[in-house]
Structure 1
Amino acid sequence: MRPSLRWMNIHAFSSVRSRSTSFIGLGRMGHEMAFNLFSKQFAQANESEFVVCDTVPETAQSFCSNFVKQFPGSRIKIAKTPEEATLASRTIITMLPSSPQVQNVYNNGIIPTLRSLPADQVQSTLCIDSTTLDVDVARSVSENVTALGSQMVDAPVSGGVTGAKAATLAFLVGGTTTAFDQAQPILASMGQRIIHCGPSGAGLAAKICNNLILGVQQIVVGEAMLLGTKLGLDPAILSSVISSSTGNCWSISVNNPIPHALPEKSPPCERDYEGGFATALMLKDMGLASNVATLSGCPVPLGLTAQRLYGQMIEEQPELARKDFSSVYQYLKQAMEEGKRIKVGVESP
């Protein structure tokens, strides 16, 4: 007996969906992550299919054109909506700006579409969200996804655009062991360290704590480098001293804010602070840290001060919002040259 047309359509749908991966959000980070993931999946199995989705159609079109040019014969499509991306693939990765976008994409797109699928398709679906967002929002979205029978992890990243491009990111993962095991080989195509931090939301909690340190760290590195050069030290020599001393950190040895201070590297300061982690995004992350700290009753006075400084930077010089957050050095330097005192602090309750 020949199978019915309906059965064959369902079978074909299931087959295509099983070998397809959708990536939603092609910003600075998402673009590099998707490119690495798709290129490695294509190398491993050239029958793989890829789907991209972005709020800016031209961004998705440009990504597809570049990918096909570098990988002739690859199958890549553009989904106009998260619904289309969900229908197309059983692996869905999102890399979005923040909490509101995640809520919209999942609650109004991915989750309603999952509800419309056959049970076996829902159960075979894995959602990976690499957005840095509010922990409670992430947990709520995950609960809604897993309640349907799908798997989901929060997997924010550390390593910046440079790490995304080089596929050396660290993924800080929250979710069940089953979901983590499914996500790990996918994340390994985009990063080097895949760390299971605990249940849903744990990856984000770890990321927020990390970026709390990073946001404060970049400011004090800018202060130290500015002070050192003011005292007549060569930036490269000062950077070398700090990098080999107790002050060593990522902000001095990788994301140094002074041009030519790292002769063998190319931090954003070498490109007028373009192409790094935007100050506006760091301000967002500092806000996430201060909000969750307030809710948990944890004092973070330096974090609050750093948050206020990044906010003040953007308010006074809006063009710095899109620049790498190491441009705080430029902000401090300009204030020094103008004889301006920078007043930031934690207001008393």
Structure 2
Amino acid sequence: MRPSFRCLQVLHSASPRAKSVSFIGLGHMGREMAFNLFSKQLALEPETSRFVVCDAIPEAAQAFQRNFEIHFPGSKITIAKTPAEAALASQTVITMLPSSPHVQQVYTQPDSGILPALRTLSEEQAEDSLFIDSTTLDVRVAQDVAELVARTGGQMVDAPVSGGVVGAKAGTLSFLVGGTEEAYHLASPLLARMGQRIIHCGPSGSGLAAKICNNLVLGIQQIAISEAMLLGQGLGLDPAVLAGVVNSSTGNCWASNTNNPVPGALPEKSPPCERDYEGGFATALMLKDLGLASSIAKARNSPLPLGEVAEKIYAQVIDSNESLIRKDFSSVYLHLRDQMERR
């Protein structure tokens, strides 16, 4: 029989909730972000810091716990079976999830969600609760969830990230934050332990609006760099030489100088292409983000000629080769190369 929220609250009532941080979502990005956050928090408050992790795949949470305890023996890190348990255990909860439906489920699910659990807390505990969602999702969904949190007395910011898995691992992410000034200032110290730049973009949903626009640019640029690298090689240029030219000229961009899609093009770096396009920002997620941009653009009658073409190209990448769904989105280069070879 599943324990009630009230029972769970009693179980956690003896723990110092104010000193505990929960992280929900331990995918490629989440696990690197959580590791940086927890390790830096532990360095600041080694005696009182407590951490909770939660993932839809229990093995992911277990693997994170083992890895963290290897690096920091004696650290207080536990696994929550549900988002509700994570919210009851910690005053601060960070979520990093794949998309809108996952956020809705984690926050609103009647039997296991954050919001039903939050409503069982005292008024003071609810008001002291802070929620940071770093998922890239539909702006309207984010605003609706934030409104539900606000009704309980808690505070929430949308804080999607820029910088990819490489930035998450290095702790150099940029956080694009939407929410009230108060919530932004509460979240900033935590975000600073996972990234280098924290930008307040405006009220709830503004961080996501900025992220969607940024990823629109990024998705288009990655295709352009792939096209240029293919063409350059066809003209006899060494990939490293061509990348060096682009990266020191007007074509310079992150898609080339950090995420170049051609093995050997960045000899002093290790982009996903050097690992068979593993460990980066999944093609499926880029397609999702371009879909968000397309949907918003249509609703606002904003022209998106390049974005619509880019969305179709990433859809073709996945349709033509299902193995690229979870590969880094720079694998669009492989799709274009295959097209060239077929011709």
TM-score range, shorter-chain basis?
over 0.9
> In 1, distance between residues paired with 2:42 and 2:248?
42
Q: CA deviation at 1:251?
A: 0.7
Equivalence map 1:58-73=2 (5 Å): 58-73=59-74
2:279 partner amino acid: G
Q: Which secondary structure does the structure 2 equivalent of 1:117 belong to?
A: coil
> In 1, distance between residues paired with 2:275 and 2:229?
18
> Does the alignment pair 1:180 with 2:184?
yes
Tell me the residue number matched to 2:94.
93
Q: Deviations over 1:68-93 (max 9, x none)?
A: 11101100000000010011001000
Are 1:14 and 1:121, in contact at CA under 8 Å, matched by a contact in 2? no
> Does the alignment pair 1:42 with 2:42?
yes
> Does the alignment pair 1:163 with 2:164?
no
> In 2, distance between residues paired with 1:338 and 1:132?
35
> In 2, distance between residues paired with 1:14 and 1:248?
54
Equivalence map 1:1-349=2 (5 Å): 13=13, 16-46=16-46, 47-108=48-109, 109-339=113-343
Number of matched residues?
330
Structure 1 residue runs of 4 or more that deviate by more than 6 Å after TM superposition = none
Alignment gaps of 5+ in structure 2: 1-8
> In 1, distance between residues paired with 2:320 and 2:336?
12
Tell me the residue number matched to 2:6.
none
Q: Deviations over 1:167-196 (max 9, x none)?
A: 000000000000000000000000000000
> In 1, distance between residues paired with 2:170 and 2:266?
19
Q: Which secondary structure does the structure 1 equivalent of 2:16 belong to?
A: helix
Between structure 1 and structure 2, the one with the greater Rg is: 1
Q: CA deviation at 1:13?
A: 2.5
Q: CA deviation at 1:58?
A: 0.7
> In 2, distance between residues paired with 1:248 and 1:166?
21
1:63 partner amino acid: F
Q: Which secondary structure does the structure 2 equivalent of 1:55 belong to?
A: coil
Are 1:219 and 1:328, in contact at CA under 8 Å, matched by a contact in 2? yes
> In 2, distance between residues paired with 1:188 and 1:337?
46
> In 2, distance between residues paired with 1:14 and 1:297?
53
Identical columns (%): 65
RMSD: 1.1
Q: CA deviation at 1:16?
A: 1.1
Alignment gaps of 5+ in structure 1: 1-8, 340-349
> In 1, distance between residues paired with 2:249 and 2:171?
29
Tell me the residue number matched to 1:345.
none
Q: Deviations over 1:23-49 (max 9, x none)?
A: 000000000000110111111111211
Are 1:19 and 1:48, in contact at CA under 8 Å, matched by a contact in 2? yes
Q: Which secondary structure does the structure 2 equivalent of 1:26 belong to?
A: coil
> In 2, distance between residues paired with 1:292 and 1:14?
46
Q: Deviations over 1:189-210 (max 9, x none)?
A: 0000000000000000000000
2:25 partner amino acid: G
TM-score normalised per structure 1: 0.93
Are 2:15 and 2:89, in contact at CA under 8 Å, matched by a contact in 1? no
> In 1, distance between residues paired with 2:25 and 2:15?
25
> In 1, distance between residues paired with 2:172 and 2:83?
27
Q: Which secondary structure does the structure 1 equivalent of 2:237 belong to?
A: coil
Q: Which secondary structure does the structure 2 equivalent of 1:131 belong to?
A: coil
> In 2, distance between residues paired with 1:323 and 1:151?
35
> In 1, distance between residues paired with 2:14 and 2:246?
56
> In 1, distance between residues paired with 2:169 and 2:288?
22
> In 2, distance between residues paired with 1:70 and 1:241?
41
Q: Deviations over 1:121-167 (max 9, x none)?
A: 00000000000000000000000101111010000000000000000
> In 2, distance between residues paired with 1:256 and 1:65?
33
> In 2, distance between residues paired with 1:141 and 1:14?
29
Q: Which secondary structure does the structure 2 equivalent of 1:173 belong to?
A: strand
Q: CA deviation at 1:246?
A: 0.9
> In 1, distance between residues paired with 2:70 and 2:114?
30
> In 2, distance between residues paired with 1:141 and 1:227?
46
> In 2, distance between residues paired with 1:65 and 1:228?
46
Q: Which secondary structure does the structure 2 equivalent of 1:38 belong to?
A: helix
> In 1, distance between residues paired with 2:119 and 2:267?
54
> In 1, distance between residues paired with 2:215 and 2:59?
31
